Structure 1
């Protein structure tokens, strides 16, 4: 592999984390790729809801370009896509199918689809919803980098014809997420944008726990929650929490809650970036269960699994401080060993080399 790759990423957003987890994932990965000597250009569709909520402060590690639409992408940025060593198209990119066709038809180098939403993507395609990916496109990309591991990878190759599907979990940046002394404002917190499928388990595992544990202090942070939701009196609401405040948020909780979307539970092997960020901050996690969670954290030792409000309350009231800190320390040790942005950058380099070798073999 070349020591210095020219990489182009067309992603949902790197400039704004408003209502999406893609920005922090892209920022960490690209920063580490830059540290490894690679040149990265990020192409982002300029849309009003991100334009009015931009929170990226450091642009030094990549060349960030905003474009107005597909016509401008073709007219102004064809050359950087054509001559890149690696071009990555992310999930939820506006007009993603048209963008994908443009990329695979234009790029001379390796092309990849980076799916930060794999179970959602596959569920959408099964309903003939091709918002940002069409089944016909999958075999055209050299690689499918999947947020989800496990059996889904085999499905992507055998059912959808991907030449090379690889696990590419989200990650965290140890320079941004680490333990620090903070007053514990809350017994349990949750960070996540509202979604209709996450709200019932959030209610079951956390909000009902708040009602049962009146002496406890709870917080839910994230945008787009409907005005009609009735929050228990001991649940604080934070409308939007930019990434720069996530570390303080996690360090201000005794425990943090993880809630998983339905499609990701069905697919399994789909760890949220919030799991890694919270663990890095030494905050013990209470989570719903999904197949494959044991491949990320050991239940009971590195993560706590809850199936009811009662179980959640039992954790909050029954676990002593020494045990709480031990669970947190074990999870932090795990994510530092396997799930940093630096680990993902190295994985991407390995996958690029693998795809390059495979492409040459096919051409021969």
Structure 2
């Protein structure tokens, strides 16, 4: 089964939060026998900041941000049984979607894969002429990496034939326990780029918590925070490459997940860092959002905070022993139920059902 995937980047996580999701899910599909080609544009300095080279389980085509290069990669869509256009590619997204629909061969499955459904749906509600609205009737399905019933119902109401969440998950070969690293020693660490839809929540859950605990040490990773006022007990690292994520997660007493506002309000939208942290055996504190219990059990496998005061209160009482126990329970849970192989099983079932093809055997 040939799969053509037009996305932001597989090779670089630089300003590209979907990289972990793409890598984990597509690798698991490749293990099931899928022949995958990933098409990504050379934009936002991502190719200068690669954190992996092209893997052996997927062919990667990097194209220049020109109209001629876009036409060339779209012409390849005809070769695939399944053609996927992801959200947020970063170059000519509307033309890319139109081209995928026009160039896919008759009988091929046409899929829009939304890796930021709350933001996409907000755009659609504000713009009645948005190209995706017209395209929904031509697509076979919308897949999302989060959102639950609110997103499913919204897409169906707007004309999608179907909408199915395939959630973020753990790739245990990539994210796993490692030795602690002194570079990341602290009481609480948070990793996330500075984004308008997240900044106010970072101020509440991270900055205010740090101010309330002047004798504890906080670590902030991610791009864009250099001019953000912080208390002296906060150390900013800048961009943290994926090769350091395991150590970043396992070394602090606890790590923090802060959802973007749109994802928190939508619910059922666990970020990749939730599974990365749990997969490393970290004690995770997350902001409160609807559906967390679907993935981790609050109080036992994850600690849940409503605001920065809750974060500070949790840290005051959190012993290293309890933090370790929570991290170990989370690790056991995500390995048993929330790996990308689990997600690939679902995606494979969806694709086979839509194309009426027999089951594919996973590669040994």
Q: CA deviation at 1:315?
A: 1.6
Matched residue count: 352
Q: 3-state DSSP class of the match of 2:197?
A: coil
Structure 2 CA distance, aligned partners of 1:325 and 1:55?
29
Cα displacement (A) at 1:285: 1.1
Which structure 2 residues correspond to residues 1-364 of structure 1 after superposition, within 5 A? 5-69=1-65, 71-73=67-69, 75-93=71-89, 94-108=91-105, 109-128=108-127, 134-183=132-181, 185-225=185-225, 227=227, 229-357=228-356
In the alignment, is the contact (CA less than 8 A) between 1:6 and 1:86 conserved in 2? Answer: yes
How big is the shift at 1:321? 3.0
Which residue of 1 is the match for residue 361 of structure 2? Answer: none
Please report how far the alpha carbon of residue 152 of structure 1 lies from its aligned counterpart in structure 2 after TM superposition: 2.5
CA distance in 2, matches of 1:254, 1:125: 41
Residue by residue over 1:202-227, the C-alpha shift from the partner in whole angstroms, topping out at 9 and shown as x without a partner, is 22222222122122111110002252
Structure 1, unpaired ranges of 5+: 359-364
Whole-angstrom distance in 2 between the partners of 1:130 and 1:233? 48
By how many angstroms is 1:130 displaced?
Answer: 7.7
Distance of aligned partners of 1:104 and 1:58 in 2 relative to their CA distance in 1, 3 Å threshold: closer
Equivalence for 1:362: none
Alpha-carbon distance in structure 2 between the residues aligned to 1:156 and 1:355: 21
Per-residue CA deviation, residues 72-123 of structure 1 (Å, 9 max, x unaligned), is: 3564334531121111111112222221111112212111111110011111
Structure 1 232/115 Cα, relative in aligned 2: closer, same or farther at 3 Å? same
Deviations 1:150-179 (A, max 9, x none): 223442453112112111112221011111
CA distance in 2, matches of 1:271, 1:202: 16
In the TM superposition, residue 134 of structure 1 has moved relative to its aligned partner by 1.8
Q: Kindly indicate whether the alpha-carbon contact (under 8 Å) linking 1:7 and 1:86 is maintained by their aligned counterparts in 2.
A: yes
Q: SS at the partner of 1:140?
A: coil
Say which is worse superposed, 318-327 or 271-280, in terms of deviation.
318-327
Whole-angstrom distance in 1 between the partners of 2:278 and 2:45: 30
State how far apart, in whole Å, the 2-side matches of 1:181 and 1:295 are. Answer: 29
Determine helix, strand or coil for the equivalent of 2:124. Answer: helix
4+ runs of 1 displaced by more than 4 Å? none
Q: CA RMSD in A?
A: 2.1
TM-aligned CA distance change 1:296 to 1:129, over 3 Å = farther
Q: Distance in 2 between matches of 1:211 and 1:340?
A: 36
Q: Is the 8 A contact 1:20 1:193 kept in 2?
A: no
Whole-Å separation in 1 of the counterparts to 2:62 and 2:201:
37
TM-score by length of 2: 0.91
- How many angstroms apart in 2 are the aligned matches of 1:351 and 1:235? 45
Structure 1 position 15, deviation (Å): 1.9
1:193 Cα offset (Å): 0.7
Change beyond 3 A, Cα 1:299–1:110: same
1:361 matched residue in structure 2: none
Where in structure 2 are there 5+ consecutive unaligned residues? 358-364
